[in-house]
Structure 1
Amino acid sequence: MYKFLDGCPRISYSIVGKGLPLIFLHGIGGNSLNWQDQQKYFSKNFTTIAWNARGYSLSEDYTGPLKFSDFSKDLLRLIDSLNIKKAHFVGLSMGARILMDFYSNNKIRIASLTLCDCYYSFKNFLNPKERKKYIEIRQKPLLEGKSLTDLAPEIIKSLVSPNCSESVRKKIYESLSKIRKESYLKTIKEATNYDVTHQLSSFTVPVQLIYGEDDKLTPPSLGLEIKNKINGSKLSIIKDAGHLPNIEQPKKFNDVLEEFLSQYKNCAEYYGKT
């Protein structure tokens, strides 16, 4: 069931289940539907919430450039509106980067973090000139008139494992076809230049890292780097999955997440409830 958070911009989100809050954040090519398998499974024991970030799906567009702090402010508005004091958060790729930013000013609102198939900085392996070229290569086809639907077949190849099923490929295609070009272009630029390297060592909340074994965009070796930077964090590798393990291997993904959440479930809470 979709609900809407009024404000600027208006944010849409899917909310299913009853219990302590568990919030899912999609990646740059996704939307709330990417978390259907997780909402269906975890709604038995949690109030599951999957948002559409600003500029995505049923959420409103926005004017001007994008900053990751904008996403964080939207997320804070959302949990405040739902009377959530502390939530469990799960973010994939861009969604995980949003949570890294959210942590910097909202640590006390986080019961646990699950960060999936993400990176923390391009600056460690691309200089400013290379980052500019990286952005231009990804923006050029769209600026020349192509749509995400046109580019979807090649994008999907880069996202999935070699043995990915056709049904999963179809889900990803449908997700990509719903992206608004302008939002995508702005997000690519901000995501490439955003850097949270200095923050990771300060994380003190429980952190679970999940990576697809066949992820070509953010390989498991990157997950190991992050694990070494976040004291006490755990790293799990999902076999037969690429950049989207929650979609390619939902059962394996859910098993890892369930085991992690079982240790910290009651750390989440609502205001006014004990």
Structure 2
Amino acid sequence: MVQAHSQRPRIHYVLEGTDKAPVLMFSHSLASSTVMWEPQVKHFHRSFRVLRFDTRGHGKSEAPEGPYTFQLLADDVLALLDSLEIEKVHFVGLSMGGMIGQELALRHPDRLLSLTLSDTSARTPQEAAKVWEQRIEQVKREGLKPLLEGTMERWFTDAFRKSRPPLYEAIEQQFLHTPVAGYIGCVQAIMKLNNLDRLSSIRTPTLILVGEEDPGTPVSVAEEIHKRISGSKLAIIPQARHLPNVEQAERWNRELETFLSSLTL
């Protein structure tokens, strides 16, 4: 396992798995980090080189003042790949990570072997942008702690939260430790998201995953993305909300594994 920082701003990454295997790259949600991909590392590290990274403003990466844009966040990904001399990856993004993945597929499809979009959106409606603006003001005043309970309710079902497995605790702590500048910078990018009418130009093999009970990026949003990307596959994960890769890791991993295997047939 290699754990290091690269480029400016410093981007923290973890690279582990089978030498010379294809690279499977994971991009996390807003206010999370590499920690949310632990179930995927355990499952995929024998068949792939698994590359996780903390988005600018998150985890152990630097958090310069924003605003950020998805072009900027995608450029961070490209700089990381260039520094590691990795030409192409299977890119997996959840929520904000899926928005970064869309930007890569639209502007740099030559760097992607495949694209997986989990629990994400391609457009931020005006009414949602107003909610994000309110959150920015609250975080400026009070930090992220007041948002914790509501966020965990959106991310996980009641039953999962009550069971409080160790990874849930780690995700809570990572949320609380997200730098305010990084959170606000990324929210400003999300507020301007408007890819929906561009998705039809994506030609990269694409899998779309979504938790059946996700309230933030619901099944209807995943279906809309699925319709726009020709040849894409859609899988709905039952008994899961916004982070099905954690809550229903076995099912989520199986869907991703089946998709990746189909690309080599």
Please point out which of 151, 154, 158 is paired with 2:154: 158
- 1:100-123 per-position Cα deviation (integer Å, ceiling 9, x unaligned): 111222101110000000010024
Instruction: Work out whether 1:138 is the aligned partner of 2:135.
Output: yes
Structure 2 CA distance for aligned equivalents of residues 179 and 76 of structure 1: 23
Taking the aligned partners of 2:89 and 2:6, their CA distance within structure 1 comes to 21
Partner of 2:259: 260
Are the counterparts in 2 of residues 131 and 193 from structure 1 also a CA contact under 8 Å?
no
Residue type at the aligned position of 2:155: L
The answer on 1:8 being equivalent to 2:8 is: yes
- CA deviation vs aligned residue, 1:118-167 (integer Å, no higher than 9, x gap): 010024xx3xxx355222221232122x2223421221112212322322
* Distance in 1 between residues matched to 2:169 and 2:66, nearest whole Å: 32
Once residues 134 and 166 of structure 1 are traced to their aligned partners in structure 2, the CA distance between those partners, rounded to angstroms, is: 28
Match of 2:235 in 1: 236
CA contact (8 A) 1:111 1:264 kept: no
Q: Is the 8 A contact 1:5 1:81 kept in 2?
A: no
Determine helix, strand or coil for the equivalent of 2:172. helix
Asked if 1:203 is matched to 2:205, the reply is no
Unaligned runs of 5+ in 2: none
Alignment of 1:26-37 (within 5 A): 26-37=28-39
Number of matched residues? 260
For residue 96 of structure 1, what is the amino acid of its counterpart? G
Q: Alignment partner of 1:173: what SS?
A: helix
Distance 1:64 1:147 in 2: 16
The letter for the 2-side match of 1:160 is F
CA distance in 2, matches of 1:199, 1:132: 20
2: CA distance between counterparts of 1:202 and 1:118? Answer: 18
Cα distance between partner residues in 2 of 1:219 and 1:242: 9
Q: Which one is further off, 2-11 or 205-214? A: 2-11
Contact 2:105 / 2:204 at 8 angstroms: preserved in 1?
no
Counterpart residue type for residue 35 of structure 1: W
Q: Which residue identity lines up with residue 12 of structure 2 in the other structure?
A: S
Secondary structure, aligned partner of 1:156: helix
How far apart, in 1, do the equivalents of 2:98 and 2:55 lie? 12
1:81/1:132 CA distance change after superposition, 3 Å:
closer
CA contact (8 A) 2:117 2:208 kept: yes
1:173 equivalenced with 2:172 (yes/no): yes
Q: Aligned partners of 1:233 and 1:22: how far apart in 2?
A: 18
1:1-274 to structure 2, matched below 5 A, reads 1-18=1-18, 19-123=21-125, 126=126, 130-144=127-141, 146-164=142-160, 165-167=163-165, 169-265=168-264
Partner Cα distance (2:39, 2:253) in 1: 8
CA RMSD of aligned residues (A): 1.6
- 3-state SS of paired residue (2:240): coil
Note the residue ranges of structure 1 that are not aligned, 5 or more in a row: 267-274
Structure 1 residue matching 2:53: 3-state secondary structure: strand
What is the alpha-carbon distance in structure 2 between the residues aligned to residue 259 and residue 189 of structure 1? 35
Letter in 2 for 1:52: D
Deviations 1:195-246 (A, max 9, x none): 1123200111110000001100001111111111111101101111100001
